[in-house]
Amino acid sequence: MKTQVDSGGIVTLTKEGENLIKDSPLFNEGLRPTTMEEHSWTSYNFASLWIGMSICLPAYSLAAGLIALGMNWWQAIITIILGNCIVLIPILLNSHAGTKFGIPYPVYARLWFGSKGAHIPAVARGLVGAGWFGINCWFGGTAIDTLLMSMSSWGNVTGHTWIAFIGFWALNVWIAYRGPETIRKMEFWAAPTLIVMSLALLVWALTKAGGWGPMLSAPSKFNTAGEFLVVFFPSLTGAIAFWATMALNIPDFCRYAKSQRAQIIGQSTSLPTTMGGFSFIGVAVASATVVIYGEALWDPAAVLAKFSPFAIFLGTIGIILATLTTNVAANVVAPARAIENLAPRRMTFGAGAIITGVVALVMQPWYILDNFGNYIFLWLGTYAALLGPIDGIAIADYWMVRKRRIHLTELYHPNGIYSYKGGYNWHAIWALAIGIAVPFISRLIPGLGFIWDNAWTVGLFVSLIFYTWFMKNSSSVMNEKEYNKITAHVDTQAS
């Protein structure tokens, strides 16, 4: 019986396939495969998604952090662009699965970890997403607090910073609660607005500072290549880790892609360019403040606070928009889906969004942002070591083990071929454990610190290699004949 149909590279369920899974305890409306009609996202939708997510206060602060660690402007920008080009590779590799089979990340994870084991990578990604959610709320809330103080006597209000933070946190939770379609609509209009506002800030800095020369003349603090590399590699890992989260749950968005071409073009043209461009704006504007005000202002809210009241008002709207577009898209969808996947018949996306907001508060984002060391080395570096191995397992499973062949209905059967033994694929668990252990152990051994500095990359390749080896004789892998037996092929070219 044909349970799925491949039309121009997009696989959807047949009526028979839909009937097989609709009563499954692993099924609900948010976790089901998308229909052909739902594959509607164009290249512009994906470009606007990444533009909206990349123009954010944490990206601005990432560039600032690299300058604070001793890099000059071009060393910081190259590090960030290189990191984003590297992380774009697993993003596109995992995007293919989401686009072709229309499944969200927690369901995709069932393929490699099992029907129950999928909670391991889903919750891991969800916790990091919740952490980022809190970080963005703290960035946005404190920025709003700074701008309100510059316009009024807001600073005299007891607990004004915490009031601004909690208020902004509540706004983020409310918008996220409304669901992914609201996110798509918001990104569509936010992207061009944020580009215009960012360029306006750059033009102001260029004009006030008297040209590029005074803005970008600060030298690197490193005297030798060795001194630079000590900082470069962990910083590169931090730049990679910045979007390593999305490299995992990008199927949550690409399941709506109109075609593989649409998602590839949209993502490839927007992620490295926007992150590099906005980071450059951050470095240039902060450098300009040295010339204009005699000190480097790395907080964009502190820069805006020196403007006229009307400009401050517009800047506040820009900061709110920049933070919202990043937070609700990049940091809520994954944890909300992970929570939904814990109990598909009882949990909804909206409930997952609310729980994500609460967990974000428990993770105390104000501590993570206490200094640049916590931000780049503790936060970004540590979770890179945890997520890199999961990326490696995902890539190995889809591209090397299964050769892009998935039995969709089996992903929703508690005792199907992707349930393995008791719902857990121990091959994936062992590959994950090894991929995490190698960088962490190397951190403790003198002379092997280089491995920890590149924890995401090392963990990815270690887990990829071990998982491929462990799975070489797995009974869950279909050959081409078995795949064609359950898949109808329609000779229609995807647009």
Digit-coded pLDDT (tens) for 48-97: 889 888 888 778 777 877 877 788 888 989 999 999 999 999 999 999 99
Parent domain of 337: 24-426+477-485
**462 vs 199: CA distance, rounded Å:** 42
Spatial neighbors of 413 by CB under 8 A, at least 6 apart, are 21, 24, 26, 115, 419
Which DSSP category does 157 fall into?
S
Q: Is 211 helix (H, G, I), strand (E, B) or coil?
A: coil
- The reply to whether 490 falls in a domain is no
- The reply to whether 460 falls in a domain is no
What are the tokens at 229? 């590399």
Q: Is 424 helix (H, G, I), strand (E, B) or coil?
A: strand
Q: Are 66 and 221 in contact (CB under 8 A)?
A: no
- The reply to whether 468 falls in a domain is no
Q: Could you give the count of Cα atoms lying within 13 Å of 80 in the half-sphere of its Cβ? A: 33
Q: Of the segments 153-157, 362-366, 391-395, which one has the largest average pLDDT value?
A: 391-395
Digit-coded pLDDT (tens) for 275-319: 999 888 888 887 788 788 887 777 777 788 888 888 888 888 888
More confident residue, 223 or 396: 396
Q: Are 182 and 175 in contact (CB under 8 A)?
A: yes
Helical packing angle, 333-342 and 119-151, nearest 10°? 140
- The reply to whether 456 falls in a domain is no
User: What does the pLDDT average to over 13-26?
Assistant: 94
Model pLDDT, residue 129: 85
What are the tokens at 385? 């070591």
- The reply to whether 454 falls in a domain is no
Digit-coded pLDDT (tens) for 476-493: 999 999 999 999 999 765
Q: Are 252 and 104 in contact (CB under 8 A)?
A: yes
- The reply to whether 455 falls in a domain is no
- The reply to whether 2 falls in a domain is no
Q: Are 490 and 6 in contact (CB under 8 A)?
A: yes
**Residue 225 burial by CB count (10 A; 0-12/13-18/19+): exposed, middle or buried?**
exposed
Residue 372 in this model has a pLDDT that exceeds 60:
no
- The reply to whether 121 falls in a domain is yes
Q: Are 259 and 494 in contact (CB under 8 A)?
A: yes
Distances (CA, A) of 293 to 84, 90, 290, 437: 32, 42, 6, 48
Structural domains counted in the chain = 1
Spatial neighbors of 485 by CB under 8 A, at least 6 apart, are none
Where residue 297 sits, what CATH number does that domain have? 1.10.4160.10
Average pLDDT, the chain: 88
